[in-house]
Structure 1
Amino acid sequence: MNKIKSLEDLKKIREEALHKREVRAAAGQIEIVVGMGTVGIAAGARETLKAILDFIEKENLTGVTVRQAGNIGLDSFEPVVQVTVGAEPKVTYGKVSPESAQRIMQEHIVGGSVVKDLMLNV
């Protein structure tokens, strides 16, 4: 544990704590889960995940958490991507190619509209 030796040390610790709290709060706003089980990977989930991460970086989006999950249980629809925005119900997309991942990011994450033709009714 670091000892606080000056007012500057205390200010620095406070700023770091505030930043961590902001990051945690932002992390809960949008969550994207990509199914990365063996079937998903075989169907191209790695490329789909990369397309999502590239979009976030290119558009400099904040408040978006991307997680990898194992098998989501929808093998015939892999790669599967689940999107949760705030308190809205989770939306599950199936057969998500890198191109459709870009579309989901643009229309759902940025634009706020669910991409109905890619959505699974689960």
Structure 2
Amino acid sequence: MKSLAELQKLKEEVESKIKLRHQEERIRVIVGMGTCGIAAGARDIINKLSDEIDKRNLGDITLTQVGCMGLCEKEPIIKIEKKDGSERTYGNIKADRVQKLVSEELVNERAVENWLITK
């Protein structure tokens, strides 16, 4: 059985995670996970995105996946939708680009121009 202090700490950890999930969504990050996306490495990309978002405590960002996005030659594809209705789509995102994409696009809200498919 856990001590009262351990239980209190566990309670606080769970409550903080619940609060993070209930923040108002500022940005939605969508990863194409169709067959072509998965073959191009989208599973690794979505895992790295999740890790970066968690590491930076970006609780107002929702990470989700969809099927084929229709641009197989540009996979893996990541679409960024903002609360104001604007969106950007990035293509050919490899694992080594995830950290920069999170830093520039999600934290500093600047496009990474040379990876953009659409603005």
TM superposition score normalised by structure 2: 0.78
2:107 is matched with which residue? 110
- CA RMSD of the aligned region, Å? 1.8
State how many pairs are aligned: 101
1:74 is matched with which residue? 71
Letter in 2 for 1:107: E
1:65 aligns with 2:59: no
Shift of 1:40: 0.2
Q: How does 1:19-98 map to 2 (within 5 A)?
A: 23=22, 26-27=24-25, 29-98=26-95
Which of the pair has more CA radius of gyration? 1
Could you tell me how far apart the structure 2 residues matched to 1:57 and 1:77 are? 26
Shift of 1:102: 1.5
Q: Percentage identity across aligned positions?
A: 33
Q: Which runs of 4+ in 1 moved over 6 A?
A: none
Structure 1 unaligned residues grouped into runs of 5+ = 1-18
CA deviations 1:19-69 (Å, max 9, x no partner) are: 88x82x613x11000000000000000011011001011111110001100
Could you tell me how far apart the structure 2 residues matched to 1:115 and 1:107 are? 7
Could you tell me how far apart the structure 2 residues matched to 1:49 and 1:31 are? 13
Shift of 1:121: 3.1
Could you tell me how far apart the structure 1 residues matched to 2:68 and 2:85 are? 23
Could you tell me how far apart the structure 2 residues matched to 1:100 and 1:85 are? 20
Shift of 1:101: 1.8
